[in-house]
Homo-oligomer: A and B are copies of this chain.
Amino acid sequence: MASIKDVANLAGVGLGTASRALSGKGYVAPETKRKIEEAARKLSYTPNVFAQNLLKNRSGIIGILVPALDHCFFSRLVQELESDLYKKGYKTMLCCTVSGGHGEEDYLDMLENNLVDGIITATHSFNDEAYLRSKRVVVSFDRDFGGHIPMVRSDHKAAGRMAAEHFIDRGCKKILNIYGEDAREGHISVGMAHRELKDCLEAAGIQVLEEYTRQDKFDMGYYSEIAGRCLERYRDVDGVFASDPLAEAFLWEGERRGKKIPQDLKIISYDGTEMTRSISPRISAIVQQIDKISQDLTNILTRRIQGEEIPEDKITEILWRQGETC
């Protein structure tokens, strides 16, 4: 636990000189510098980050809020964010707001206490004021706070249209459009995709049924239950649009009930994470480009931290990936 004072003493110089030599800024004679560096090495000196933080009033830590990691979309996103943040010199503090049983506000309080330099939030609850009040830099994924908080999201309208085109193209007559109940309201942007799908399909004279899932459960048990129930209730549905894990649940539950896929039931999933192409049959998907989303989120955040006024929102293109379910 050698301090810079110890280094200065051992090198026989003043404490300020040692600081300048080790931080590399300010004039130090080469010879003096050498002595100081040697002393530092001898004492295996390592600067105390806490003191540096206090002085600079920043920690180099970014807080990431996600509902949970057992939803593959979020674990991918977090992994990507962590990597991008590291490259920019930031560390990642992880907060899972649903799975741990403690909520968003607990975390916000914690983060607010000066601990983090900025926050990336990708959660689904509704206490917007807490964020708007925040003195930290905040960037949002897929959630519109309406205030000064920038948002990054995929081009959901294009996604909805694209899904509709594929269903129409395949001659579907009755589509089940199923998504999170919170996305109904408008705060969560992904709802746009589902609304656009509905509009496009109905304009083409195709019947659309809607169902909503809870946003505090991400396990396959829950998704299977939902899929099973829907398939029992709507026997003549011939197309489903749902997020990856739910789409997978429809795939298995459909097959269990003797449906041929894609002949009897077409499935398009939204997100297009790894799981949709690692199973057999591969699920046809509209892909959110998580790598680009992560880059946009981290770019906007770090530039804002440095005081730049970055344009508010950023919309990322979506892609179609042909699978075997539509």
List the interface of chain A (C-beta within 8 A of B): 1, 46-51, 53-54, 57, 59, 61, 64, 68-70, 72, 75-76, 78-79, 82-83, 86-87, 91-96, 99-102, 110, 112-115, 135, 219-220, 223-224, 245, 248-249, 252, 255-256, 274-275, 277-280
Contact = CB atoms under 8 A, between A and B. Distances in A.
A76 B54 CA distance: 35
Contacts of A51: 54
Interface class of chain A by DSSP:
helix
A50 B46 contact: no
Copies in the complex: 2
A29 to B, nearest CB: 27
A114 B50 contact: yes
A69 B59 contact: no
A47 B70 CA distance: 34
Contact of A83 (B59, B99, B252): B99
Contact of A114 (B49, B68, B76, B279): B49
A128 B181 CA distance: 48
B92 A94 contact: yes
B274 A255 contact: no
A91 B47 CA distance: 22
B70 A224 contact: no
Nearest to A53: B50
16 contacts: A47-B113, A48-B113, A48-B114, A50-B50, A50-B53, A50-B59, A54-B54, A69-B79, A83-B99, A91-B93, A93-B93, A224-B278, A245-B278, A252-B278, A252-B279, A279-B279
